Amino acid sequence: MDTIVKGRVWKYGDDINTDVIFPGKYTYTVSDPADMGKHAMEDLDPEFADKVQYGDVIIAGKNFGCGSSREQAAVCLKVKGVGAVIAPTYSRIYFRNGVNVGLPLITHNKVQDAFEHGDEIEIDFEKGEIRGKNGVFTFPPFNEFVFGIMNSGGLIPYTRKRLGIEE
Amino acid sequence: MGKTFSEKILAKYSGKKEVVPGEIIEVTPDVAMSHDNTAAISKTFASIGVDTLYNPDIHVITLDHCVPPANATFAQNHKDIREFVKKHGIKHFYDINNGICHQVLAENGHCLPGTVMTGSDSHTTTYGAFGAFGTGVTRSETAVIMATGKIWFRVPETMKIVISGELPKGSYVKDIALHIMGKIRSDGALYRAVEYTGPTAEKFSISERMTICNLAVEMGAKVGYVPPNEIVYKYLEDRAQKEYTPIHSDPDATYDEVIEIDVNNLEPHIACPHTVDNVSTIGDVAGEPIEEVFVGTCNNARLDDLAILAHVLKGNKVNHDTRLIVIPASSRVMIDAMRLGYIDTILTAGGTLASPGCGPCMGNHLGVPATAERVLSTSNRNFKGRMGNREAEIYLASPHTAAVTALTGKISDPREVPVDWDAIASELSKATLSPVLVKA
């Protein structure tokens, strides 16, 4: 994963569910990750998939990713280049999905008021800092086990490494 | 100091003397369920680079999300899964003729007290109905369980919900679950285990246990759990896939939060568009026109649910401006419902029947609503776009509320058409394939 993420903010509200992040009707018909990206946030923000740039960050309210266990809801953001999601809480399966696909999910409840939609943002994972026009916000390091998975690029590369399978 | 069910079972499975909430541990589950998503999972498994499964016998695979397949893509998925099952010698495979995964696993005795069960499906919390630690995991995680047998968990805090009182006529366990949902909201149990206890919960039937544990995930819970008792043990006689040892919380266990619910005067409830926690009592929305009533899904399509539906419909007709779509949770439920005359009644009243499976619940087929239509469903999720059309609205309620709404064509109070529960109980006692009223 990138140690520094730099881009613009996409801001959303509370309880953003996986049906609006990646509509259920595509879960068995869209299997290529790049195609998943085309439907990212389709039922919430139809502009998102076209306009999001590599390094952009989603700042959302509580319980981000609630609903279905679908992994595509994390993959579709990852392949669109989303550098991180910041929310006060995540649904537990979404959090697992984020870890497992290597999409950093930062738990933070103070930045929501400090950023507007479209603001510039920089995240430093080594220092645990979120930087923007209203200052610097810190976040605690990820659990070591969890970070190991994310830093390997996700659960599958991590498992390969663990099983001693060469890339 | 006492431990909760989750702390005890995760300590046992991780080989530790004790674990505490927040700790990360690794376990090997007894069952790893996957469904139509096994096609994608099998490709992820292949990408890991191991040739054989760690243990093919822990995998239970069902086809249910779009059965029979609606198009060539779904059909190919199913074909890929059948080949994968054969190649790896997976013996627990349930093809399209069985029903919804959670119901099928229960009926076939895979859900056992004191076991750890994962599923690549969020509603895997249902297995807590049998005293299992059942939790939803991701597709990749099931692929990794295939390769290594291992899955990581964060030991959850536990919330206890003590339910007491007698449900008034017209209110059901679905109404209890929706009431709790409205009270604590969609993140009220986030990351936590939820134990449903108290004198009312102790008497829950198998079907009721499944309905309430199924909805636990909609409050963000990692697991739902009703302490297993004679009702569960009796259901599992001649059904359990293997021996089991129930695990119960210690009497002095530490709970994160305790909520008490008295259901004595509980009104019928309904979840309004577009979130499950947008809950009202029925009186607040009664009269709203409904174009589609859907009785189906892993939440409320068991034999008792179809019995209530049939008793309301008997001698009546579905409103001419409303469609009633009925999808039994499993083939066993459907056969029992046929033998008891419920299917006859439902079709005669003007209902539409489809083959057991998830149906239109997540918008794949068999009842996707048109734009601006309103659906009243007995399912567990009403998010925008959930049933395949983001311009439709979905309400969630009990099968009784659904049945009366089908007759009037508008959201209706189930108490307007009471059912004779004694008559229903007597009929249900004759069910042989999918018993729901197991007496302890």
Report the relative pairing of strands B279-281 and B269-271 from DSSP bridges.
Answer: antiparallel
Q: What DSSP character marks residue B171?
A: -
CB atoms within 10 A of CB B25: 17
How far is residue B266 from each of residues B167, B280, B295, measured CA to CA in Å? 7, 12, 22
Let me know: does A100 contact B140? Beta carbons within 8 Å.
yes
How far is residue A100 from each of residues A18, A72, B155, measured CA to CA in Å? 16, 11, 18
CA distance A9 to chain B (A): 24
Of A28, A31, A101, the CB nearest to B65: A28
Test mutation, A93, A146, A147, chain B, max B CBs within 10 A: A93
Test mutation, B53, B386, B393, B396, chain A, max A CBs within 10 A: B386
Selection from B72, B33, B46 nearest residue A69 by Cα: B33
CB atoms within 10 A of CB A116: 12
Test mutation, A96, A101, A142, chain B, max B CBs within 10 A: A96
Question: What token pair was written down for B73?
Answer: 């893509």
Those residues of chain B that have pLDDT short of 50 are none
Q: Quote the strand ranges of A23-104, DSSP E.
A: 57-59, 84-87
Of A17, A63, A146, the CB nearest to B190: A63
CA-to-CA distance for B179 and A4, rounded, in angstroms? 45
CB atoms within 10 A of CB A133: 10
Average of pLDDT values for A134-150? 90
Interface of A with B (CB under 8 A): 15, 17, 19-20, 23-25, 27-29, 31, 43, 62-63, 66-71, 89, 91-93, 96-97, 100-101, 143, 145-146, 154-156, 159-160, 162-163, 165
CA distance A24 to chain B (A): 6
Are B137 and A25 an interchain contact pair (Cβ–Cβ within 8 Å)? no
Selection from B164, B168, B214, B199 nearest residue B421 by Cα: B168
**pLDDT band for position A25 (50/70/90)?**
confident
What integer pLDDT is reported at residue A50 of this predicted model?
A: 96
CA distance A116 to chain B (A): 25
Are A160 and B390 an interchain contact pair (Cβ–Cβ within 8 Å)? no
Say if residue B248 is preceded by a cis peptide, omega within 30 of 0: no
Backbone CA torsion sign across B285, B212, B236, B54: positive
Give B-chain residues touching A16 at CB under 8 angstroms.
none
Of B40, B77, B386, the CB nearest to A24: B386
CA distance B36 to chain A (A): 8
Of B141, B187, B385, the CB nearest to A96: B141
CA-to-CA distance for B375 and A140, rounded, in angstroms? 44
CA-to-CA distance for A155 and B9, rounded, in angstroms? 24
CA-to-CA distance for B231 and B440, rounded, in angstroms? 5
Q: What is the ipTM of this complex?
A: 0.85
pLDDT tens string A68-103: 778 899 999 999 999 999 999 999 889 999 999 999
Report, in angstroms and rounded to the nearest whole number, the Rg of chain B calculated over CA atoms.
Answer: 21
Report the relative pairing of strands B257-262 and B292-295 from DSSP bridges.
Answer: unpaired
CA distance B262 to chain A (A): 28
Let me know: does A119 contact A8? Beta carbons within 8 Å.
yes
What integer pLDDT is reported at residue B440 of this predicted model?
A: 57
Backbone CA torsion sign across A51, A54, A59, A65: positive
Of A69, A91, A143, the CB nearest to B120: A69
What integer pLDDT is reported at residue B150 of this predicted model?
A: 97
| Among the ranges given (A52-61, A136-145, B3-12, B161-170), the one the predictor scored with the smallest mean pLDDT | A136-145
What integer pLDDT is reported at residue A167 of this predicted model?
A: 62
Let me know: does B281 contact B415? Beta carbons within 8 Å.
no
Test mutation, B6, B66, B185, B190, chain A, max A CBs within 10 A: B190
Give A-chain residues touching B191 at CB under 8 angstroms.
92
Of B140, B141, B384, the CB nearest to A43: B384
